[in-house]
Amino acid sequence: MSANEAPAPLALTMGEPAGIGAEIALAAWRQREQVPDFFLIDDIGRLRALAGQLGWVVPFVAIDHPDQVSAWFMEAVPVLPCPLSAETVMGRPDPANAAAVIRSIEMAVALVREGAAGAVVTNPIQKSVLAAAGFRHPGHTEFLAELAGPGTDVVMMLACPGLRVVPVTVHLALADAIRALSTQAIVTAGKITAASLTGLFGIDRPRLAIAALNPHAGEQGRMGREEIEVIAPAVAALRDLGIDASGPLAADTLFHEAARSRSDAVLCMYHDQALIPLKTIDFAGGVNVTLGLPFIRTSPDHGTALDIAGSGRADPASLIAALTLADELARQRALRL
């Protein structure tokens, strides 16, 4: 594949039918001159109804295979049908539709793995609704790791122009996150991040900044010993593996412009340590990237926004950024294969 050759179209999943996923997808298609080709795996009837509710003139075409997308994309939203079991009421999720939501993700992964689609882009899901229907995974990331196969270790990266962050611990209460933090978890996250920065982002010698946990990086143990006993050994282990890792670095001076220029990604010790700076820098345009999968997956960095679903007020910026980044990563991966 040449640098200018278009990869296969992107597979965009349904997400929570009662949320803003379809709305931002249609809004992204309305800017189709600025976004890469994608297709929705969704219920075409509910998409038509939503477009009518929004007062948007959006044509749709049902496709049988992603190879039909390029012929239709500029004229209509290509939809690979994935029927719902129950009628959608915006803002009111129905567990009866959970199976279709899950099936949409499975279809996207299968198409990417067979080369028919270039990447998986996931719309936000309502985890509580899926759990009520028997879905046993905490979220997309864990489910995608299972679909990828045994032994797949993954980490979550949040990215925007000028900053990439990887939380070592993710959706845990802060006290639990501190207890869960380990040298091995940091090393694993660092190895996956470095490999992905090379394989996906084209950075031959990635630089990792490793954040401290405590204020002032612990002040030599006076404000906590995690830097000495957990984080510093992880940094040393990463360096022994040939990875350019620095730290532990005090988090309060790690995210200003000059500091950001000195690394290609920052490993953070807990969720908000990573997401606060990213969302401060680019609240609307952050992208979630799952690293460690044998396929590319991105998603917008926000939830289902049930309170505004169907109102036409949802901002598609993060989804457009997720589609754009997925396309860039697919091109980069193809060049390196």
pLDDT, one tens digit per residue, over 223-236 is 999 999 999 999 99
Q: Is 62 in contact with 79 (CB distance < 8 Å)?
A: yes
Residue 2 scores a pLDDT above 80:
no
Same domain, 37 and 137: yes
Give the predicted TM-score (pTM) of the model.
Answer: 0.92
Same domain, 144 and 168: no
Candidate from 59-68, 75-84, 124-133, 303-312 with smallest mean pLDDT? 124-133
Same domain, 15 and 147: yes
Residue 62 resides in a domain? yes
Same domain, 35 and 98: yes
Query: How many domains does the structure of the chain reveal?
Result: 2
Same domain, 11 and 73: yes
Scanning the chain, the segments in alpha helix (DSSP H) are: 21-29, 44-54, 69-72, 98-113, 127-132, 140-148, 174-180, 183-199, 226, 232-240, 257-260, 271-281, 317-336
Residue 78 resides in a domain? yes
Residue 1 scores a pLDDT above 80:
no
Average pLDDT along the chain: 94
Residue 7 resides in a domain? yes
Residue 216 scores a pLDDT above 70:
yes
Q: Please give the pLDDT value at position 3.
A: 47
Report the CATH number at residue 223.
3.40.718.10
The residue segments making up the domain with residue 28 are: 1-152+296-337
Same domain, 83 and 179: no
Q: Is 300 in contact with 123 (CB distance < 8 Å)?
A: yes
Same domain, 301 and 215: no
